[in-house]
Amino acid sequence: MNALRVLSWRRLLAVVRKEFVQVMRDRLTFAMMVGIPVVQLAIFGFAINADPKRLPTAVVVESPGVYTRSLISAVEATGYFRLVESPDPRDAAALLEGGEVQFVMVVPADFERRLVRGERPAVLLEADATDPAATSNALASLEPLARSALRFDLDGPLAGGSGPPFEWRVHRRYNPEGITQYNIVPGLMGVILTMTMIIMTALGMTRELERGTMENLLSMPVRPLEVMIGKILPYVLVGYVQVIVILLAARFVFEVPMEGSLAWLGLCVLVFIVANLTVGITFSSLARNQTQAMQMSFFFFLPSILLSGFMFPFRGMPAWAQVVGEVLPLTHFLRLVRGILLKGYGVADSWPHLWPLMLFIVVVMGIGLKRFRRTLD
């Protein structure tokens, strides 16, 4: 009779128990099941901030004075701006272009004089608007300041008429219209490359191990380095095809500006692709089967998307999350690709974002090769 019943609790429980034992025995899967929620909680709960504050700002003061000081402290008091430097006017542009500051505020030489005369002088605020999300709230907080910042300084006869005593002149550099696609589309190039390059190589090598073809391969005269490079090269090509597709779409569909040299971008892409492939190879040497390789790839992919500045402003994250982000190759590539396409980075501008990628390659390749050798014996 038992065999005829549609659902037997005993049989059901037998399957449940078996499944449970299998999951527990696969330590990596189990770690992932616990690890992914923890990582997600940390990222979404603590790291991500769609309203970044304390953005680094350089202030160029051409007319020091009491009103300027009040203005600067009012700007700081919004919480969105953190004064990091008071550079020379010429250096300020370089700071902005290099991405070291998000804003440059210029108080012109005749500011104090014209203010007292009631001529409503302008204060220049240049913003790196590559990522509109990172700057829009900060810029919005400025508007009311024009009226309130100098409220207590300008009293009596200086209180003037009805309008604000000065005005903001905001320049959204690199992406003047604040078009999100300008930021997202180049970023997507990095995200897509990360995903395909890591998954492809991680699976490719693990597949050989899982199907037993690795043993056969190694009994033949082919050398480990030849296997490794031979497996990587086709994917480099695949990566370039992806880059071309994305660039075509960026140019003709989204009309993203392309300020820098595409040849230089192509070279930087190569460095980034290799960085990702070394991650994939390392995963494949750690994973025992393709499922594990896939899990590891996703475990790497998740912070790459969320902590690199692709989805959420990098400067909005707390210090620890920024440290994690700095380790990820995508973070540096995003700065590179956005810099080259939107800001027209040349070789010198790119270098600060290029060397971390190279360092990453050397370190991860070292780990991968060491692990790879061990799997042979």
Partner 1 sequence: MTEAVIDVQGLTKTFGTRRVVDRLALRVGRGEIFGFLGPNGSGKTTSIRMLCGLLTPDEGEGRCLGYDIRTQSALIKREVGYMTQRFSFYEDLSIRENLEFVAEVYELRNARAAVDAALNDLGLADRQRQLAGQLSGGWKQRMALAACLLHRPQLLLLDEPTAGVDPQARREFWAEIHRLAADGMTVLVSTHYMDEAERCHRLAYVAYGTLLAQGSPAQLVRDCGLSTFTVDGENLHALQAELLRLPAAEQVVPFGTSLHVSGAEEDALERQLQPYFARSELRWTRDRPRLEDVFIHLMRGRS
Binding site for partner 1 (CB under 8 A): 211-222, 376-377
Query: Whose Cβ is closer to partner 1: residue 151's or residue 211's?
Result: 211
| Residue 105 DSSP SS3 | strand
Cβ neighbors of 215 (< 8 A, separation 6 or more) are none
Shortest distance, CB of residue 45 to partner 1, whole angstroms?
42
Q: Which is nearer to partner 1, 263 or 376 (CB)?
A: 376
- Closer to partner 1 by CB, 156 or 212: give it: 212
Token pair of 311 as six digits: 């989805």
Which of the 8 DSSP states describes residue 49? -
Contacts of 244 (CB under 8 A, 6+ apart): none
* Unique residue bearing structure tokens 């901030």: 49
Give the shortest CB-203-to-partner 1 separation in angstroms. Answer: 13
**Is 232 buried (19+), middle (13-18) or exposed (0-12) by CB count in 10 A?**
buried
Task: Render 331-348 in DSSP notation, one character per residue.
Answer: HHHHHHHHIIIII---HH
Q: How far is the CB of 223 from partner 1 (least distance, A)?
A: 8
User: CB-side exposure of 62: number of CA atoms within 13 Å?
Assistant: 14
- CB-facing half-sphere around the CA of 376: CA atoms within 13 A: 16
Task: State the Cα–Cα distance between residues 66 and 58, nearest whole angstrom.
Answer: 19
Cα separation of 324 and 328, whole Å? 7
**Distance of alpha carbon 32 from alpha carbon 356, whole angstroms:** 28
Task: Report the nearest approach of partner 1 to the CB of residue 293 (Å).
Answer: 18
CB closer to partner 1, 161 vs 212 = 212
Q: 150 or 209, CB closer to partner 1?
A: 209
Beta-sheet pairing, 103-107 with 167-173:
unpaired
Strand-pairing partners, residue 61, are 107
**Nearest distance, CB of residue 41 and partner 1, angstroms:** 37
- Dihedral sign, Cα of residue 88, residue 90, residue 96, residue 97: negative
Residue 106 gets which letter from DSSP?
Answer: E
Nearer to partner 1, 161 or 221 (CB): 221
Minimum distance from CB of 58 to partner 1 (Å)?
Answer: 58
Give whole-number Cα distances, 146 to 139, 151, 160, in Å: 12, 9, 14
Q: Please, what is the minimum distance in Å from the beta carbon of residue 297 to partner 1?
A: 21
As measured in angstroms, the least distance from the Cβ of 94 to partner 1 is 53
Instruction: Closer to partner 1 by CB, 2 or 219: give it.
Output: 219
- Min dist CB 376 to partner 1, Å, is 8
As a whole number of angstroms, the distance between CA 50 and CA 136 comes to 11
Q: Which is nearer to partner 1, 227 or 267 (CB)?
A: 227
Nearer to partner 1 by C-beta: 225 or 253? 225
Nearest-angstrom CA–CA distance, 33 and 18: 18
Distance CA(89)–CA(262), nearest Å, equals: 30
Query: Closest CB to partner 1 among 18 and 223?
Result: 223
Closest CB 184 distance from partner 1, rounded Å: 36
